[in-house]
């Protein structure tokens, strides 16, 4: 059996963007029959919301699209850089934080901005934080995350998933 691929999504508080991305990727993996080949999680760079459920606006937005969000917010830990194959950041600030942490503790994780995999994004595109906006911001962020997660899976299809199961 092929080795499990581990993916961690990172935003600021782990209640809006990263749990949505986690839920979307899990949903896409289920639909492609790949769930057993992945470990997916999310975390935040800050500890403001540790232990809280995802933001209700994220939950509602995802539910309207058939995606279930669960779990509780947690903060990125140094060991995450060693335990995960891919860590996907929502913006450049998160990326800078993760790079500093990786320089300090090491680790095998490949760090990327998530929107690198969005066909409408690019190497420096970010996922904006919808926290202080209205419902449309959550809808727009969901669309970005879904495109980026699909692009990420397509990327993996040509790299890590090409190994025989």
**Tens-digit pLDDT profile for residues 90-134:** 999 999 999 999 999 999 999 999 999 999 998 999 999 999 989
Q: What is the pLDDT of residue 158?
A: 85
Q: Which residues carry out catalysis?
A: 11, 17, 129
pLDDT in tens, 31-68: 999 999 999 999 999 999 999 999 999 999 999 999 99
Q: Where are the beta strands (DSSP E) in the chain?
A: 5-11, 38-44, 86-89, 110-113
- For the chain, count helices (H), then strands (E): 5, 4
How many separate domains does the chain show?
Answer: 1
The pLDDT of residue 164 is above 50:
no
What is the average pLDDT across 140-161? 92
Q: Which domain holds residue 67?
A: 5-162
Q: What is the pLDDT of residue 147?
A: 98
Query: Sorting pLDDT into bands at 50, 70 and 90, what band is 165?
Result: very low
Q: Which CATH number is 80's domain given?
A: 3.40.50.2300
Picking from 45, 49, 132, 152, the residue whose alpha carbon sits closest to that of residue 92 is 45
Task: Work out the number of other CB atoms within 10 angstroms of the CB of residue 153.
Answer: 18
d(CA 113, CA 48): 22
Which is it for the CA torsion 17, 91, 156, 145, positive or negative?
Answer: positive
Q: What is the pLDDT of residue 41?
A: 98
Full-model pTM: 0.95
d(CA 158, CA 41): 22
d(CA 132, CA 17): 12
Q: What is the pLDDT of residue 159?
A: 80
Residue 22 in contact with residue 41, Cβ under 8 Å?
yes
Query: Sorting pLDDT into bands at 50, 70 and 90, what band is 161?
Result: low
The pLDDT of residue 162 is above 70:
no
């Amino acid at each position: 059996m092929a080795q499990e691929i581990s993916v961690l999504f990172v935003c600021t508080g782990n209640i809006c963007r990263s749990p949505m991305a986690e839920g979307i990727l899990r949903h896409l993996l289920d639909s492609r029959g790949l769930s057993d080949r992945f470990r997916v999680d999310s975390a935040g760079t800050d500890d403001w919301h540790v232990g809280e459920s995802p933001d209700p606006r994220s939950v509602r937005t995802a539910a309207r699209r058939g995606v279930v969000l669960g779990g509780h917010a947690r903060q990125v830990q140094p060991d995450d850089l060693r335990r995960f194959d891919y860590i996907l950041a929502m913006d450049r600030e998160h990326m800078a934080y993760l790079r500093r942490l990786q320089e300090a503790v090491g680790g095998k994780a490949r760090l990327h901005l998530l929107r690198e995999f969005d066909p409408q994004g690019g190497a420096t595109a970010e996922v904006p934080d919808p926290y202080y906006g209205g419902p449309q911001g959550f809808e727009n962020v969901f669309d970005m995350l879904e495109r980026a997660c699909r692009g990420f899976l397509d990327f993996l299809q040509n790299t890590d998933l090409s190994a025989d199961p």
